[in-house]
Amino acid sequence: MTINKIFNSCDEAVADIFDGATVMIGGFGSYGGLPINLIVALSKQGAKALTIIANMGGVGYELSHRIKPGGYQDSGILFENGQVRKFIGSVPALGGMPPTSPLERLFNEGKVEIEMVPQGTLAERLRGGAGGLGGFYTPVGVGTTVEEGKEKKVINGREYILELPLTADFALIKAHKADAVGNLVYRQTARCFNPVMAMAAKTTIVEVDEMVPTGRLDPEVIVTPHIYVNRIVEVPA
């Protein structure tokens, strides 16, 4: 039986994200690799008490004008709406760039929790979740607040901390092209975190610039195989 993965709108694709869900958001941080339309759809959908896993917590619409003329929405809108309980990621704010981001402001007000994860460790924790691993030992973060509450071990005379894998109920990701079964091709910064998050979530939802017929994509350039993709929405760039 053929499964139809193509949805008519981003609103339809995120409609069943539930209160308390863990949601991964792909991209490096700036607008190029972000699933902006899926983020906006989730902001309208209104799910609350979310745990967001992302490299960056978003800058918010006001600050985004410094990055792109005319501005853009990012995950900052979810914090502004009070939809997020916890952020897990590497860059909660852009230091030295006032005004503060929505996440930074809410954290300072004690309204949201932050779990800081070094960027390389974040990538490995996602890969661990994708591969069903139990965790890994790393020296990154030893002697800092990153090690708090974590198991430590000495290996060959060096201290390491145990980092656990990350998984999610949903992943919102951005790709350049997809075919009808869900094979994905990326471009530029969209290669950051989107592919690995696609493999680490129970339900992967992707917005793409262009849909192409199945069989049209060169197998050598497909980064995410269709088996990891559940829903596709075409949003022309």
Question: Which residue do the tokens 């917005």 mark?
Answer: 207
Of the candidates 6, 48, 55, 68, which has an alpha carbon nearest to the alpha carbon of residue 26? 55
Contact 126, 200 (CB under 8 A): yes
Whether pLDDT at 133 is above 80: yes
pLDDT at 66: 74
Contact 163, 139 (CB under 8 A): no
Beta bridge mates, 178: 184, 211
pLDDT at 110: 93
Whether pLDDT at 94 is above 70: no
pLDDT at 24: 98
Bigger pLDDT: 95 vs 163: 163
Question: Which residue do the tokens 């471009």 mark?
Answer: 187
In the chain, what percentage of residues exceed pLDDT 70?
95
Q: Which domains does the chain have, with CATH numbers?
A: 10-134+167-234 (3.40.1080.10)
Q: pLDDT for 165-222, tens place per residue?
A: 999 999 999 999 999 999 999 998 899 999 999 999 999 999 999 999 998 999 999 9
